Structure 1
């Protein structure tokens, strides 16, 4: 910690507490205080304002509660479901669904408080002509002679009244919403709540139908246009096909919406190709059979010839057997020979006939194949021509497909909108409002709680304002930072006895405080405490005379010879504090009376001598500024160790600056919690301009308001502690 020094470089005591240590010294040396402690101290210091503000607010709350008109609240409950609930497990999709749902519900809450809904309720309930409504809110009855402007103005005021009275309260974590009305009539509150929810449901349905109606009108116009476009494109397609001779037998649409057609030429080509394949197969078979006939294998394999050959073999075998037993001319042998010759002729005949048939079949197959091939070539040529011409037809077909897709899609949307327009409403009424059997307001407990909060706020504002406007010295250590003066002593406030009597008791708080001051004075100069000291203040009643008296008493109690000079000749006070006469004194000496010994009054009770102020002179400043005052100081210094001069206050008077030049230094007295900083600064500037040496400051009347800075606690604890020990 930085050590304080006076103008001569001599170190000063940094701790103004009675013993130089302890709670008071540590708190005083602190650079700042916790915010909570500052707030608590401010409340304690201004407790009267705090108590008054809170009491006033509570009183106003009571008055408001008893004078307020009772209000009855009725509530209707509705359920609002989203139009299209989304169920998905994808995180991003679920987040977007929640955001959309939140926006949906916020929109519904805003619609419930909308002015348009209030207008519907006004019209549905005919509230401007409702006697109960007019009586409840003390409105003017409708006048048949009112102009339309007056009626609109009246309706607007009723709408504002409804919006002020309605309350929309969503039920947490649900799709339910409570709509409440508070009026002076329980039946009217229930009626308005039911009207509000009913009109909200109706308005939602109306908006749905209005939206679908607009959409249907738009879609109908678009469908008409698209239908015309589709018909035009189909007509162009058919005309082109007719002009080019393209005959379409069938068409089909794939999954992508493209139409695939089958023309007559294509079908014929497919049929001819199939017939040609079969004809070619038949020609190959006929050619194979003809080749077999040429090689003889066909005759062997023919069924008729094979049968004849088997029969011939049988006859030949029988003939051979007969020859073994009979001669050639035997009738049976001759018969068998004839039969065998017949069979040979039959086989020959049958073989020739089979070969001729195969050749004819082969020729027919070849002819059929050639005819079909020629027909296929002709159709293929025609198909190729149509394929080249079908490029434009494909373009026209694509346009037809596009127009048809647009038309069918829009037609489907038109049907969906028609179904949605007559769908169920997503808003339903859960509970109807009932007339309340007891008023909902005024609520005494709630009003008192609000009044208490307002009172606390008002008290906080007043305390804050007072604290900001208070520029007095509350922390004695501030004299160093604000005014550049060392703090030499902090003097506690005494209420129960006179300072002159309290300072005699060496166990008292006053004595200990001034003893600490005397200790700090001993460090000011090389020879100890200054021998001549002037005590002054910025204004009267700051404790300078008490400080002069007590400092003289403490110095005398430590074996020093001390004289106290009352230099406040305009308003002397030392004689009143000491209860001594003020016949001859300083003013007489300064006026030329040299009988100084007769002016010095000994005070055995206090241990020092005193020179009273004497009679009040007409020219106090001239007397104090004369050389006689300097001569007085020199004379007294030859007789006493210390001279204490109690001067007049600084502001408005020239006495203190004149005296300050005649003494060794000045002690400046500041009253805590009273004197403004601006006043103190002005007074100090006057002293400094006079060339006076300022030893430091004494802060007097340190009381309960200064406890937070350690001084009140230090004195209250330190001085009472010794007294309690003695009592024990």
Structure 2
């Protein structure tokens, strides 16, 4: 025989492999769908509660929609460009910072929803005196003269009302913003929307104007201060230059904007240096001419001397030519000799005069050079003194340049602000608000959806809470983990048919389910199904008697001889259920009647015999605890293959533990979805304390609530579900 391990029957060979594969497939499918299926089952198990709550939420949403005041919405669209306001910062005063675009737009949205803007709109539209505004929002109409505090209180209240009705909606991925108001009056909604965007644009202009005005005032103050500083520094520079005799004849700017000055002394030194260089050149030339005149080499360059020498050469050549032809006395020769002598005298006289002129020119050049050198030395000494003074002069000049740069920069900014003014604005109105022809709320469909969502949440939450609070057996497989019992079978609810009628039909799902129980029973002991079995439950009407009847029928169908004993002598039910007469039965035997044959009643329809409970005794526990019960069971086992005892429920009674000691083992019946886990655990503890052997559990009345656990419609028997026509015990 195969044993049951962990609540599962061990099958030989290929049969066990097939079962394990099928169970593995079922487990994986259950793992993937259990959460969703259990959520659905929670709703189905409490469907009436869920439907009631959802219906109530929908009715509430419908009522609120009908009693709500219609609201009309008007929308205006504005454009906000990321343009920073007028900046008053200049280099050396403030650091120029870039405006972060996200921060800029968040600031603008906050300004659109600011209380100051709301109060500005109230004042601009004189809303505290507007009868329509006061009537729509049910504000008090001021009468008579009001104090400033009362007027401010009215303005604050009106601003609060406006902020409650305002909606600012930035258009995604753009610089556009929609501003909306919803009121019971379409005209008032359009008016408030237009007032709001108009005042927002105007407030932006006012802020820019205020910023410009403040900037101009600030710049005027700074310009006056810088002007005085510049004048003071320039006056100090001039006074210092005058006191030191520093005469500036020109000034220029370098690459850094600093002033570089040319003084008179520096200019004179430049001119004297040039004149000295020219005088030195003339002296050198005169000295060379003088040297040439003294050596006779330099006279050849004189024009007069050159002419005389040329004439002398010509005369001397002509004289030489004539001498070769004529004698010394030839008149022409004599004449030429006389001319040659005259030319020699002229050359000597001219050479004397040239040497004297060169000496005078040389002396004059030397004198000029000496005068210029002396004047240059004097200017150089004076320039050196001024160079030492120019250090302080340069410091004063840099101070003047710095003050002038600050003054010029600030003056340029002042001119820019004056030229720009506040003519441009980075906020403009794109679309004005229009009077709405149809109300924007209440929206019946939206309100029903909004009512449905919390209704569903509340209904599901309450159903889930009730489900968590329910400790009954939902998943038949739980009996193994929760109570330490093998699951011998899960019995479906009967659909419009008595179990007594369904069990005799071998094609019925009831028969198939109990046949599976009987099959599992064959693996419980070494000799097959236990010969003496007691069936009990924790409380009445869990299907214990039906299970006794069905197990007996299925065992008898296999060819076994079976007898069923109704041991519930306090509240017998099998005789009523099977519609058989209550004559002599178990209570009579326990009381001393030994005519067992007269107590046995064959049930041809079911294939087994039965001993009814008999007459209700005054002391059931004493009778059931006597040795007579054990003797009866031993006597019946000699005549029948199996003895089944339908015992009373456990809770509150001592009957079942007393009977359990007389049989081979116990089958514990649990009604699905009804019997609480604590009751089952208590009953099982009582059985175990009595020393009874518990073979396993049978879970009865498995229905549609158990579909999520792999039972019900998906169990494999093709179960149909419905309400039973009579209570089962």
- Asked whether the two chains share a fold, i.e. TM above 0.5, the reply is yes
User: Which band: TM-score by shorter chain?
Assistant: 0.7 to 0.9
Report the CA distance between 1:534 and its aligned residue: 1.6
C-alpha distance in structure 1 between counterparts of 2:30 and 2:682, whole Å: 26
1:431 is the counterpart of 2:434: no
Partner of 1:531: 531
Partner of 1:89: none
The CA RMSD over aligned residues, in Å, is 4.0
Partner of 1:372: 372
> 1:268 and 1:20, CA in 2 relative to 1: closer, same or farther beyond 3 A?
closer
What is the SS of the residue equivalent to 1:76? strand
> 1:568 and 1:112, CA in 2 relative to 1: closer, same or farther beyond 3 A?
same
Partner of 1:203: 203
Partner of 2:693: 693
C-alpha distance in structure 2 between counterparts of 1:400 and 1:172, whole Å: 55
Partner of 1:649: 649
Report the CA distance between 1:485 and its aligned residue: 0.5
Partner of 2:485: 485
C-alpha distance in structure 1 between counterparts of 2:492 and 2:362, whole Å: 150
> 1:25 and 1:537, CA in 2 relative to 1: closer, same or farther beyond 3 A?
farther
C-alpha distance in structure 2 between counterparts of 1:156 and 1:566, whole Å: 87
Partner of 2:683: 683
Aligned length in residues: 705
What is the SS of the residue equivalent to 1:79? strand
> 1:215 and 1:625, CA in 2 relative to 1: closer, same or farther beyond 3 A?
farther
The residue correspondences of 1:226-265 to structure 2 (distance < 5 A) are 226-265=226-265
C-alpha distance in structure 2 between counterparts of 1:419 and 1:468, whole Å: 78
> 1:719 and 1:467, CA in 2 relative to 1: closer, same or farther beyond 3 A?
closer
What is the SS of the residue equivalent to 2:564? strand
Partner of 2:26: 27
C-alpha distance in structure 2 between counterparts of 1:145 and 1:614, whole Å: 102
The residue correspondences of 1:496-511 to structure 2 (distance < 5 A) are 496-511=496-511
C-alpha distance in structure 2 between counterparts of 1:685 and 1:416, whole Å: 98
| Conserved? CA contact 1:665–1:694, under 8 Å | yes
Partner of 1:591: 591
C-alpha distance in structure 2 between counterparts of 1:130 and 1:14, whole Å: 95
C-alpha distance in structure 2 between counterparts of 1:146 and 1:658, whole Å: 96
C-alpha distance in structure 1 between counterparts of 2:174 and 2:28, whole Å: 61
What is the SS of the residue equivalent to 2:100? helix
Per mean C-alpha deviation after superposition, the further-off stretch among 272-281 and 557-566 is 557-566
Partner of 1:667: 667
Partner of 1:578: 578
> 1:14 and 1:319, CA in 2 relative to 1: closer, same or farther beyond 3 A?
closer
What is the SS of the residue equivalent to 2:681? helix
Partner of 2:139: 139
Report the CA distance between 1:81 and its aligned residue: 1.4
| Conserved? CA contact 2:668–2:697, under 8 Å | yes
C-alpha distance in structure 2 between counterparts of 1:28 and 1:655, whole Å: 40
> 1:49 and 1:451, CA in 2 relative to 1: closer, same or farther beyond 3 A?
same
What is the SS of the residue equivalent to 1:269? helix
Report the CA distance between 1:484 and its aligned residue: 0.9
> 1:76 and 1:508, CA in 2 relative to 1: closer, same or farther beyond 3 A?
same
1:520 is the counterpart of 2:492: no
Partner of 1:287: 287
What is the SS of the residue equivalent to 1:547? helix
Q: 1:521-574 CA distances to partner (integer Å, 9 max, x unpaired)?
A: 111112221122221112222111111111122222222222222222232211
What is the SS of the residue equivalent to 1:255? coil
Partner of 2:561: 561
The residue correspondences of 1:146-157 to structure 2 (distance < 5 A) are 152-157=152-157
Q: 1:26-73 CA distances to partner (integer Å, 9 max, x unpaired)?
A: 637977452334334444444444544444444444333333222222
| Conserved? CA contact 1:15–1:25, under 8 Å | no
> 1:496 and 1:559, CA in 2 relative to 1: closer, same or farther beyond 3 A?
same
C-alpha distance in structure 1 between counterparts of 2:220 and 2:653, whole Å: 102
> 1:654 and 1:157, CA in 2 relative to 1: closer, same or farther beyond 3 A?
farther
Partner of 1:545: 545
Report the CA distance between 1:107 and its aligned residue: 2.6
Report the CA distance between 1:143 and its aligned residue: 4.6
C-alpha distance in structure 1 between counterparts of 2:412 and 2:260, whole Å: 24
What is the SS of the residue equivalent to 1:684? helix
> 1:689 and 1:428, CA in 2 relative to 1: closer, same or farther beyond 3 A?
same
Per mean C-alpha deviation after superposition, the further-off stretch among 237-246 and 343-352 is 343-352
| Conserved? CA contact 2:75–2:432, under 8 Å | yes
What is the SS of the residue equivalent to 1:430? strand
> 1:126 and 1:555, CA in 2 relative to 1: closer, same or farther beyond 3 A?
same
1:628 is the counterpart of 2:628: yes
Report the CA distance between 1:672 and its aligned residue: 1.1
**Gaps spanning 5+ residues in structure 1: where?**
86-96, 721-728
| Conserved? CA contact 1:6–1:524, under 8 Å | no
| Conserved? CA contact 1:590–1:628, under 8 Å | yes
Per mean C-alpha deviation after superposition, the further-off stretch among 356-365 and 706-715 is 706-715
The residue correspondences of 1:464-483 to structure 2 (distance < 5 A) are 464-483=464-483
Report the CA distance between 1:669 and its aligned residue: 0.9
C-alpha distance in structure 2 between counterparts of 1:617 and 1:14, whole Å: 52
C-alpha distance in structure 2 between counterparts of 1:388 and 1:552, whole Å: 135
| Conserved? CA contact 2:712–2:719, under 8 Å | no
Partner of 2:92: none
> 1:184 and 1:30, CA in 2 relative to 1: closer, same or farther beyond 3 A?
closer
What is the SS of the residue equivalent to 1:279? helix
Partner of 1:361: 361
> 1:320 and 1:514, CA in 2 relative to 1: closer, same or farther beyond 3 A?
closer
C-alpha distance in structure 1 between counterparts of 2:306 and 2:6, whole Å: 161
Partner of 2:276: 276
What is the SS of the residue equivalent to 1:651? coil
Report the CA distance between 1:122 and its aligned residue: 2.0
**TM-score normalized with structure 1 length:** 0.85
Q: 1:208-253 CA distances to partner (integer Å, 9 max, x unpaired)?
A: 2333444444445554554454445444444443443333333222
| Conserved? CA contact 2:552–2:608, under 8 Å | yes
Per mean C-alpha deviation after superposition, the further-off stretch among 483-492 and 360-369 is 360-369
Report the CA distance between 1:421 and its aligned residue: 4.9
Partner of 2:441: 441
> 1:59 and 1:264, CA in 2 relative to 1: closer, same or farther beyond 3 A?
same
Report the CA distance between 1:682 and its aligned residue: 2.2
> 1:33 and 1:177, CA in 2 relative to 1: closer, same or farther beyond 3 A?
closer
| Conserved? CA contact 2:4–2:523, under 8 Å | no
Per mean C-alpha deviation after superposition, the further-off stretch among 631-640 and 184-193 is 631-640
